[in-house]
Structure 1
Amino acid sequence: MDKLLLVIDVQEDFFRTGRLAEKRVQFTLALNELLTQFRDKNQNIIWVRQVFKDDLSDSYLTLRQSKQKWTIEGTVGCEVLNELVQKPNEPEIIKKRYSAFFNTELEEILNAIAPSEIIIAGVNTHACVRVTAIDAYQRDYQLVLAKECIDSYDQGCHDESFGYMVNSGIGVPLSNAQIIEKLKS
């Protein structure tokens, strides 16, 4: 049975300052461990990136209203962290909203792969990770939350959202060691 690793928004802009910048080395080491294991076991990996036009005309409402800019098309900030290796055969979804399902080809790709389980990794727990996880759950996918590879710039938001996803049954939290053990079976 195919398993799939869904890697959400591990982009330079989110790891420049603050809590995620401080955890960058630890986070990327853990995610690289999963990426290596998924590739070694010939399992699927899908990358998701949030990318906006410079004028924010394609961004979500709050961002347009605030005029803050991050993950802008053509900038280093919208690129996947340079410590991570993205292979050409691994699909990439470009999204404009929190959910990786909203107006993207993700559902079509998942229908073709028909994974038995989706392992979610990425940032930010309270926004793009949580909303994508809920949308996957609403489509009846079995979800695993990669505990060492999901985080947020805000500890409180991370804790609350991660707890919500676990306590409501949306996803099962597993360590890298537990996920890797499941890949062997």
Structure 2
Amino acid sequence: MAAPEWSETAMLVIDMQKDFISAERGSPLLVAGGQAIVPTVIQAVAAARERGILVIWVVREHDRFGRDVEHFRRHFYSDGEGPTVKGCIGAELADGLAIADGDYKLVKTRFSAFFATNLHHLLQGCGIKNLVVVGVQTPNCIRQTVFDAVALDYHSVTLISDATAAATPQIHSENIRDMKNIGVAAPTLQEWCSFDASSSSVSYSMLSQYHNFVCGSPSSSWLRTASKLARMVPVLFLFLLYKNKTSTGDWLCF
């Protein structure tokens, strides 16, 4: 049974399937950085289970003819053997990963785990307020799911930075930066494991605020205020010129 403080947290493991992870499959949707994070994802899932956190395996499973896939990807299914077809090897979890008793499997057909699925209702029914996200890939399914979670007002959304991956480290880091800018925390697995639930939301919030302050996030309140003040300077200058002209008949000179 989960400790009371962790019972309101769920971990989403996104798209850790052979067609996205295993190079030997030759899938057109292979994520170059995916295989490298498998050991970290295994550790993250183990840590979540140890804490009694609900683990939700979010996977893609498509019709063999691609009738339920995004329009721009349907050409991959012209021969009836496209990526992550339901019941085929490519849709299986990557080697070393397995759904355990008590875990939950959620099938999606689009980038976000929330789009046209029962995920939000499931989480609400389980009393989940906080989400931890791992898997692939950062600019697509991870990002879309995280943004939707923030829009749905989950209290805290955490991305484990070394248990997620993209095609390149640069793409990965740039998307993490964007997610930090909307209040998402991105600790490493080691950092996440060092937090206890009672302090995690505060700690994650502080980390995000610190990042925003140092890096100049457009979402940080201090930067918005400074930006507004900067925009006011030219207006104030023109007002002073006008006021001097109307009161003395001469333009103010400097």
User: Does residue 38 of structure 1 match 2:51?
Assistant: no
The one-letter amino acid paired with 1:5 is M
Q: 2:181 aligns with which of 167, 178, 181?
A: 167
Q: Larger deviation: 78-87 or 153-162? A: 153-162
Aligned equivalents of 1:96 and 1:115: distance in 2? 23
Give the superposition deviation at 1:108. Answer: 1.0
Aligned equivalents of 1:22 and 1:122: distance in 2? 10
**Larger relative contact order (C-alpha < 8 A, sep ≥ 6)?**
1
Aligned equivalents of 2:157 and 2:34: distance in 1? 24
Query: Alpha carbon RMSD of aligned pairs, Å?
Result: 2.1
SS in 1 for 2:179: helix
Q: Is the 8 A contact 1:50 1:71 kept in 2?
A: yes
Other-structure match for 2:37: 27
Aligned equivalents of 2:16 and 2:34: distance in 1? 12
The one-letter amino acid paired with 2:15 is D
User: Does residue 49 of structure 1 match 2:59?
Assistant: yes
Q: Is the 8 A contact 1:41 1:183 kept in 2?
A: no
Do the aligned partners of residues 22 and 151 (structure 1) sit closer, same or farther apart at CA in structure 2, a change above 3 Å counting? Answer: closer
The one-letter amino acid paired with 2:178 is Y
Question: With structure 1 as the length reference, what TM-score do the two structures score?
Answer: 0.89
Other-structure match for 2:102: 89
Aligned positions, number: 183
- Give structure 2 stretches of 5+ with no counterpart: 199-254
Over the matched positions of the two proteins, sequence identity in percent amounts to: 25
Other-structure match for 2:149: 136
SS in 2 for 1:172: coil
- Give structure 1 stretches of 5+ with no counterpart: none
The one-letter amino acid paired with 2:56 is I
Give the superposition deviation at 1:131. Answer: 0.3
Q: Is the 8 A contact 1:38 1:44 kept in 2?
A: yes
Higher strand share: 1
Bigger Rg, structure 1 or 2: 2
Higher helix share: 2
